[in-house]
Every structure is written in structure tokens, then in C-alpha cells.
């Protein structure tokens, strides 16, 4: 049997495999340093947790050709302005609750999770809560007793009883409000937000 041509040699491809893998890994590490800085809470794309003290709008930016969150005037959650630390504690409680109650195996967050229940990325801004004035309380009431307050929109799918306490429910609402302020590059597409007070 004749020897393999140079382009099919084992040795050549071993070298390629090593160099390509190493190169791509190094590029990924560099990009990771950049991305991590840009998604740290308090950056332009991912606001600090005290954004829950503000009104959050979702508006179309013609230059980027996509919708983006815009942070407006004061609109404290549950009527109370929080310090940066208090806000972080509340969002942390919310995130812990979202994980401990396994929300992600029915819902999607930032589009990731399961598809049995609606996406939560912009849940805070959803029209389903009716009026802005009652939204917070409606969300807390719903989370604490989802069976009695079920809204299935004709699917028959109800959220189960997860034993969510009032502080946990408030934490989840804070987490959802904060999450809605993340710049998700226009996802979800064409979202129609709840009617809010005019931008100031």
C-alpha cells in the first residue's frame, strides 16, 4: 500500500488538532474576560440591583433596530426605596427562591429552561398584569397561592403550590423586575409591554 499523501497524514492532523484547540480556547478565554466585565451587575447591559427603585421601560431603538430597556424616574418596589445593599439582598432572596422552587423546569428565563409555562425574561413588563398600580401586589398574591389565583388562558395548565412565603414572593418580584432591565439584544422579539406612566 502506498504511503498516505501529506494532507492525509496522521501526524499533520494531530498537530492541527492540538493547535486549533489551543487557539480557540485562548480566544474564548479573552472573550470571556470582556463579556464577564460587560455583564457584571452595575454595567450598562446588566444594571445594578437597585434598579428596582426605578421605573423600567422597554422601547424601540431605531439605531440598533431592536427594543431595549430604558431606566426612568423613581418608582420604588412595594413603595420603599432600598439601598444598593438592601436591593441586592432582596434580589438574591428572589433568585434563591427561583432556584429552590425549580421554576426553570416549567418556565424559561432569558429564554432558557422548559416550555410548559411562559418566558419570565420580561414578566415584570407583561401586559397580563393589567394596570401598573396593582401589578406588584397581584404578582405576590399569585405566587403565594397559584392554584386559587390560576390564570390558564385556556390551556388548563396551572402553576403548582410551591409554598412560597410573602418575603420570598417579594424577592421573586424584585428579581423579575431587575431581570427585565437586562439588555437582551431585542429578545423577546416585538414584545409589547404593559402601559406605564410616560417616560420622564
Partner 1 sequence: MTIGTFDTSNLNVGQKVAVKYFTVALVLFVAQILFGLLAGIQFIAPDFLYNVLDFNVNRMVHINAMIVWMLFGFIGSVYWLVEDESGVPLVGAKLANLNFWIFTIAVAVVVVVYLFVQIGPGTHSSIWLINEGREYIEAPRWADIGITVCVLIFFYNVAATFMKGKWSGISGVLVFDLVALAGLYVVGMFFTPNISMDQYWWWWVIHLWVEATWEVLVGCIMAWGLMKTLGARRKIVTTWLYIEVALMFGSGILGLGHHYFWIGTPEYWFSIGGFFSALEPIPLVAMVVHAVYDSGVHRFRNGNHPALAWLIAHAFGNFFGAGVWGFMHTLPQINLYTHGTQWTASHGHLAFFGAYATIIIAVMYIAVQRWRGGVWMSGDMPGNGWKWKWSFGLLNVGVLGMTMALLIAGYEQSFVERALEGSTWGGYFAGQTQPWFIQGMEWRMVFGWVTAAGIALLVWDLATIGRGETRTAIDPEAEQRQALATA
Site residues for partner 1, 40-59, by CB under 8 A, read: 40-41, 45-46, 49
Whole-angstrom Cα distance, residue 26 to residue 161? 46
Say whether residue 111 binds partner 1 (CB under 8 A): yes
State the nearest-atom distance from the C-beta of 93 to partner 1, in Å.
6
SS3 80: coil
Answer for which of 56, 91, 139, 143 binds partner 1 (CB under 8 A) is 91
Footprint on residues 123-182 left by partner 1 (CB under 8 A): 123, 126-128, 147, 152-158, 160-165, 168, 171, 175, 179, 182
State the nearest-atom distance from the C-beta of 71 to partner 1, in Å.
15
Say whether residue 116 binds partner 1 (CB under 8 A): yes
Answer for which of 119, 124, 135, 173 binds partner 1 (CB under 8 A) is 119
Closest by Cα among 159, 170, 79 to 118 = 159
State the nearest-atom distance from the C-beta of 122 to partner 1, in Å.
8
**Nearer CB in complex with partner 1: 187/196:** 187
Whole-angstrom Cα distance, residue 101 to residue 199? 35
Q: Per the structure block, which three cell numbers stand in for 125?
A: 413588563
Say whether residue 39 binds partner 1 (CB under 8 A): yes
Burial letters 40-70, b for 16+ CB under 10 A, else e? eeeeeebbbbbbbbbbbbbeeeeeeeebbbe
6 phi, psi to nearest 5 deg: -55, -35
CB atoms within 10 A of CB 136: 19
Answer for which of 70, 72, 86, 113 binds partner 1 (CB under 8 A) is 113
Say whether residue 185 binds partner 1 (CB under 8 A): yes
Which residues are registered as beta bridge partners of 109?
112
Say whether residue 100 binds partner 1 (CB under 8 A): yes
State the nearest-atom distance from the C-beta of 175 to partner 1, in Å.
7
Answer for which of 6, 30, 33, 115 binds partner 1 (CB under 8 A) is 115
Spatial contact of 148 and 136, defined as CB atoms under 8 Å apart: no
Amino acid at each position: 500500500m502506498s504511503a498516505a499523501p501529506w494532507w492525509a497524514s496522521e501526524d499533520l492532523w494531530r498537530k492541527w488538532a492540538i493547535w486549533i484547540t489551543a487557539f480557540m480556547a485562548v480566544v474564548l478565554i479573552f472573550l470571556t474576560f470582556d463579556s464577564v466585565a460587560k455583564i457584571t451587575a452595575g454595567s450598562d447591559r446588566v444594571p445594578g440591583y437597585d434598579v428596582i427603585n426605578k421605573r423600567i421601560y422597554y422601547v424601540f431603538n431605531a439605531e440598533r433596530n431592536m427594543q431595549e430597556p430604558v431606566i426612568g424616574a423613581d418608582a420604588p418596589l412595594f413603595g420603599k426605596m432600598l439601598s444598593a445593599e438592601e436591593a441586592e439582598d432582596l434580589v438574591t432572596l428572589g433568585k434563591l427562591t427561583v432556584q429552590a422552587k425549580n421554576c426553570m423546569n416549567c418556565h424559561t428565563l432569558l429564554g432558557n429552561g422548559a416550555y410548559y409555562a411562559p418566558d419570565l425574561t420580561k414578566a415584570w413588563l407583561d401586559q397580563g398584569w393589567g394596570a401598573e398600580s396593582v401589578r406588584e401586589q397581584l404578582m405576590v398574591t399569585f405566587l403565594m397561592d397559584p392554584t386559587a389565583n390560576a390564570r390558564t388562558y385556556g390551556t388548563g395548565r396551572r402553576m403548582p403550590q410551591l409554598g412560597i412565603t410573602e418575603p420570598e414572593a417579594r424577592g421573586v418580584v424584585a428579581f423579575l423586575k431587575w431581570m427585565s432591565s437586562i439588555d437582551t439584544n431585542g429578545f423577546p422579539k416585538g414584545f409589547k409591554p404593559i402601559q406605564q406612566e410616560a417616560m420622564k
